[in-house]
Amino acid sequence: MKTTMMAAALAAGFGGMAQADANDVKLQLQWVTQAQFAGYYVALDEGFYDEEGLNVTILPGGPDIAPPQVLAGGGADVMLNWMPSALAAREKGLPVVNIAQPFKSSGLMLTCWKDTGITSVEDFKGKTIGVWFFGNEYPFLSWMSQAGISTDGGEDGVTVLKQGFNVDPLLQRQADCISTMTYNEYGQVLDAGIPADELVTFKYEEQGVATLEDGIYALEQNLEDPEFVDKMVRFVRASMKGWKWAEENPEAAAMIVLDNDETGAQTEAAQIRMMGEVAKLTAGSNGALDEADYQRTVDTLLAGGSDPVISAAPTGAWTSVITDAALK
């Protein structure tokens, strides 16, 4: 009943486009065009998608675009998302499934002023920390919950600021620490003139609270359609080819990303630096999700204690069907 009605309504609307659908893929990125998504742009420009007979449209994201919502509304066929956000969406009733995991390790970290005297997690108490939201808050909340530090402020807790997607709270001293990515915001702090020896960083990977980041997700009901599955197999194969090409040719990949940047806001130096750092995160993955990594992410999220990101171990949240066929 549930899917029949929705499918009937959608089919009535998209009846005319049925034929073209078999090779069209719309990919919703998590953020604006940048080297974090180089693999897909490389696959587009180097013709890997064309070789598979696919017509791929890459939709850049931005500050107020939540990829799960775009997927739910039918605006895209696949999305990129961090696993905590995708698992939380799954619990909220949006059945997204991980079909590939190009990013093996996490680039998330907290960057603090050294003069705040913070040297370990315990020193976070009583400090102000900038945290991104819109799906990116889960690793932090999980970490604080595991460390037993409340996020409500006060002497024994951390005061959380909803950080915009920039590094201003650190520069303006409105926060003691901010969330940064190894490949993006950390470089922005250095570019702002802060020498690295005035900063102290905490990488989530080193703290043992890292969660899987950029993964490719699709809706469960779409994965029941063999035509869609075939489309996804070709898409993942070409995308991973793009990623491996980007890892071997970081500067060329950065230039391809710049060519595709419609806003003109990205700079060559920043993108080359970003590609170099992203290559470290995608190295070691051929696209298939490693179950041990998945389990580590789930365990980190479930260990949240009083404020868990997800309340129960998810079932059916990932599938190897696509990657098994793509990487044969």
Partner 1 sequence: MIYVVFAVLLWVSGWMLNVRLANGPHAQSRSIQLLVPAIFGLTILLIWELIVRGLSVPLVILPPPSMIAGRFAGSLPILWQDFVQTFVKGALSGYVIGCAAAFILAIVVDRFDFLRRGLLPVGNFMAALPIVGTAPILVMWFGFDWQSKAAVVVVMVFFPVLVNTVAGLRDTSDMQRDLMRTYGASYSQTLMKLRLPAAMPFIFNGLKIATTLALVGAIVAEFFGSPTRGMGFRISTSVGQLALDMVWAEIVVAALAGSFFYGAIALFERGVTFWHPSQRK
Residues that bind partner 1 (CB under 8 A): 1-2, 5-6, 64, 66, 68-69, 72-73, 85, 88-89, 92-94, 133-135, 137, 151, 153, 159-164, 168-169, 172, 174
Q: Residues 221-226: contacts with CB within 8 Å, 24+ apart?
A: 221/3, 221/7, 221/95, 222/77, 223/97, 223/99, 223/319, 223/321
Instruction: Provide the H-helix boundaries in the chain.
Output: 2-14, 18-21, 38-45, 48-51, 67-72, 83-91, 138-147, 168-171, 185-191, 204-207, 226-248, 250-260, 268-282, 291-302, 321-326
Three-state secondary structure call for residue 202:
strand
State how far the alpha carbon of 149 is from the alpha carbons of 160, 161, 220, 257, 314, in Å.
12, 15, 36, 40, 26
Closest approach, Cβ 249 to partner 1, in A, equals 34
Shortest reach from residue 52's CB to partner 1, in Å: 31
The least distance separating partner 1 from the CB of residue 325, rounded to whole angstroms, comes to: 28
Distance CA 166, CA 147 (A): 26
Rounded Cα–Cα distance for residues 58 and 301 (Å):
30
Which strands form 215-219's sheet, in the order they lie side by side?
55-59, 24-28, 78-81, 215-219, 96-100
The 10 Å Cβ neighbour count of residue 109 is 22
- Quick check: 187 and 274 in contact, CB under 8 A? yes
Among 61, 65, 66, 64, CA closest to 34: 61
Is the Cβ of residue 166 or residue 295 nearer to partner 1 in the bound state? 166
* Residue number with CB closer to partner 1 (38 or 79): 79
Q: Which residue, 15 or 73, has its beta carbon nearer to partner 1? A: 73
Give min distance, CB of 175 to partner 1, in A: 8
Q: Which is nearer to partner 1, 94 or 190 (CB)?
A: 94
- Whole-number minimum distance, CB 134 to partner 1, in Å? 3
Q: How far is the CB of 135 from partner 1 (least distance, A)?
A: 5
> Closer to partner 1 at the Cβ: 166 or 267?
166
For residue 203, the minimal CB distance to partner 1 (Å) is 24
By beta-carbon proximity to partner 1, the closer residue of 90 and 231 is: 90
| Closest CB 56 distance from partner 1, rounded Å | 25
Q: Is the dihedral of CA 29, 256, 185, 110 positive or negative?
A: positive
Smaller CB distance to partner 1: residue 134 or 147?
134
Q: Six-digit token pair at 249?
A: 């040719």
Rounded Cα–Cα distance for residues 177 and 183 (Å) = 17
Q: Could you tell me the smallest distance in angstroms from the CB atom of residue 284 to partner 1?
A: 29
Q: Which helix (H) or strand (E) holds 111?
A: strand 108-113
Backbone angles phi, psi at 293, to 5 degrees: -65, -45
- What end-to-end distance do the CA atoms of the chain give, in Å? 36
94 vs 321, beta carbon nearer partner 1? 94
